[in-house]
């Protein structure tokens, strides 16, 4: 995958272009049970944590839940910065049970393990692992039943997964190629006569990649692959960059595959990725006992992602809705006004770490979101959020609609429009920039406005999307589009999201 090789091998004869799980879904970990595949991703500061997916072909994935969906499983304090929280899960199936090990990078956090007999849940309360150091923990069992936990760095310790007790002291293993920074995301596998240690290295930016080593024991010593890194797009013009942090899986027919994260920068120089790091898939073959990763097809579109409409008729929200740090029934409910989502403000704006916000990941480069808002008792609206310091909002307070831009330390009201009292339909439309070459061109344009009575969209302001990108804001997440309350109580009758096509 270091060059321009393109593979036409796909499970079940499928063809696809782009990510198999689009939008902010990084650090994928996959396991197979029979004919079923299950996938978990990082969730960082969002609650519920660790989205879970199911597939029969590795290409088409359906959301089945979240592993950490109860407050007793996941506490993310307001003191924790955005891009903290839940890092790099490993999902495995062993002895009739699903095991998920992950790091909570927040105050009072650490490494933890949860289990389930059904990956759709419920998952157990956490077993904390206070003696497991580092981040990005992995689980693997050897022939005599010993469970080995390997973490970024790369070090390893034997673990009793039922109690969380470590058995012995951590020991260092192979940590990647000479001079490669940030050896992380280790995964250990028994394949044939060897134990293989797969790691990410080079940092999760443009230099990201994956390397592998093998040994006759799960403890090593490990011999590095002579073709390392076996996956990287560093130094190329491939449309998918930052490729790394992968996991291997074997299909029932004996073929091998790798899921991994990547980003799709758009615009001029240096390129801005706004959807976050997404999950991609590539075929794997074996030569001389080493894996060779084929290339994904260059993305021609944004991949899967159906239109979504929520009338808030159910008592429980769909698993795809995520909130910042927590979600309490006091501040977010569909039960107060049947057929509506009610948000009760806690902070004063989305600038605050305890903002009441509920959103869905942006999954397409060209898309629109709309919502019917009743602000009679407060102020709130629709936002495109990257973090507390980088978001665009359109909000209503019963007398006017206004567009708010927060970029770094600068917060500005960029447009206002008087409106009569009563519900109003607010909209966000995200489009790619005009077809022209300019190295300064941003990745997209974000228009925020209202819907007229005839159903047409009237933008109040169009803003440069580069300021809601990882290259500007930093961090590890991607855009989330959703609803918020800034003051008082705000009711939302419905929310809709869809891809825009030419």
Distance CA 477, CA 470 (A): 7
Distance CA 83, CA 476 (A): 6
Helix, strand and coil content of the chain, in percent to the nearest 5, comes to 0, 50, 50
Catalytic residue among 45, 184, 201, 397: 184
What are phi and psi for residue 471, nearest 5 degrees? -65, -25
Longest CA span, the chain: 73
H or E segment and range at residue 470: helix 470-473
Q: Characterize 9-26 residue by residue with b for buried, 16 or more Cβ atoms within 10 angstroms of its Cβ, and e for exposed.
A: ebbeeeebebbbbbbbbb
Is residue 310 annotated as a catalytic residue, yes or no?
no
Distance CA 86, CA 224 (A): 30
Catalytic residue among 27, 201, 464, 471: 27
What are phi and psi for residue 12, nearest 5 degrees? 55, 25
Distance CA 68, CA 156 (A): 25
Q: Give yes or no for a contact between 177 and 229, defined as CB atoms under 8 angstroms apart.
A: yes
* β-bridge partners, 159: 147, 166
* CA angle, 201 then 204 then 207, to 5°: 65
- The closest alpha carbon to 461, from 495, 410, 420, 427, belongs to 427
Q: Strand 480-499 and strand 367-387: pairing?
A: antiparallel
Phi-psi region of 427 (alpha: psi -120 to 50; beta: other; left: phi over 0): beta
Is residue 354 annotated as a catalytic residue, yes or no?
no
Distance CA 276, CA 487 (A): 29
Q: Exposure of 156 by Cβ count < 10 A (0-12 exposed, 13-18 middle, 19+ buried)?
A: buried
- The closest alpha carbon to 197, from 171, 219, 165, belongs to 219
> Could you give the residue numbers annotated as active site?
27, 184
């Amino acid at each position: 995958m270091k060059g321009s090789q393109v593979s036409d091998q796909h499970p079940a004869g499928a063809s696809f272009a782009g990510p198999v799980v689009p939008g902010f879904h990084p650090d994928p970990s996959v396991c197979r049970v029979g004919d079923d595949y299950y996938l978990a991703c990082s969730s960082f500061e969002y609650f519920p944590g660790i989205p879970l997916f199911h597939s029969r072909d590795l290409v088409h994935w359906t959301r089945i839940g979240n592993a950490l969906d109860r407050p007793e499983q996941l506490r993310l304090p307001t003191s924790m910065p955005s891009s903290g929280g839940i890092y790099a899960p490993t999902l495995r199936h062993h002895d009739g049970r699903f095991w998920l090990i992950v790091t909570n990078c927040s105050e009072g956090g650490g490494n933890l393990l949860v289990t389930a007999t059904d990956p759709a849940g419920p998952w157990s309360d956490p077993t904390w692992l206070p003696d497991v150091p580092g981040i990005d923990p992995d689980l693997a069992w050897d022939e005599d039943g010993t469970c080995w936990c390997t973490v970024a760095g790369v070090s390893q310790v034997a673990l009793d997964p039922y109690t969380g007790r470590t058995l012995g002291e951590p020991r260092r293993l192979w940590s990647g190629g000479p001079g490669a920074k940030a050896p992380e995301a280790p995964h250990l596998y028994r394949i044939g006569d060897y134990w293989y240690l797969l790691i990410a290295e080079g940092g999760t930016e443009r230099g990201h990649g994956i390397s592998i080593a093998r040994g006759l024991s799960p403890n090593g010593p490990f011999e590095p692959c002579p073709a390392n890194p076996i996956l990287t797009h560093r130094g190329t013009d491939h449309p998918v960059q930052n490729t790394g942090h992968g996991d291997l899986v074997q299909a029932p027919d004996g073929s091998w595959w790798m899921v991994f994260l990547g980003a799709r920068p758009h615009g001029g120089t240096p390129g801005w990725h706004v959807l976050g790091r997404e999950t991609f898939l590539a075929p794997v073959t074996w030569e001389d006992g080493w894996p060779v990763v084929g290339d994904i097809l260059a993305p021609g579109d944004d991949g899967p992602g159906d239109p979504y409409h929520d009338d808030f008729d159910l008592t429980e929200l769909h698993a795809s809705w995520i909130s910042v740090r927590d979600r309490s029934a006091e501040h977010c409910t569909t039960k107060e006004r049947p057929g509506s989502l009610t948000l009760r403000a806690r902070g004063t704006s989305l600038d605050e770490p305890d903002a009441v916000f509920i959103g869905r990941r942006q999954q397409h480069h060209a898309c629109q979101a709309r919502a019917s808002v009743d602000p009679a008792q407060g102020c709130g609206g629709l936002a495109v959020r990257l973090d507390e310091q980088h978001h665009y909002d359109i909000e209503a307070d019963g007398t006017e609609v206004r567009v708010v831009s927060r970029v770094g330390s600068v917060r500005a009201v960029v447009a206002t429009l008087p409106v009569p009292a009563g519900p109003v339909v607010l909209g966000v439309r995200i489009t790619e920039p005009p077809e022209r070459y300019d190295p300064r061109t941003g990745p997209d344009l974000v228009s925020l406005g209202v819907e007229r009575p005839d159903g047409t969209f009237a933008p109040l302001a169009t803003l440069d999307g580069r300021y809601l990108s990882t290259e500007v804001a930093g961090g590890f997440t991607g855009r989330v589009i959703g609803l918020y309350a800034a003051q008082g109580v705000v009711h939302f009758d419905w929310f809709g999201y869809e891809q825009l096509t030419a």
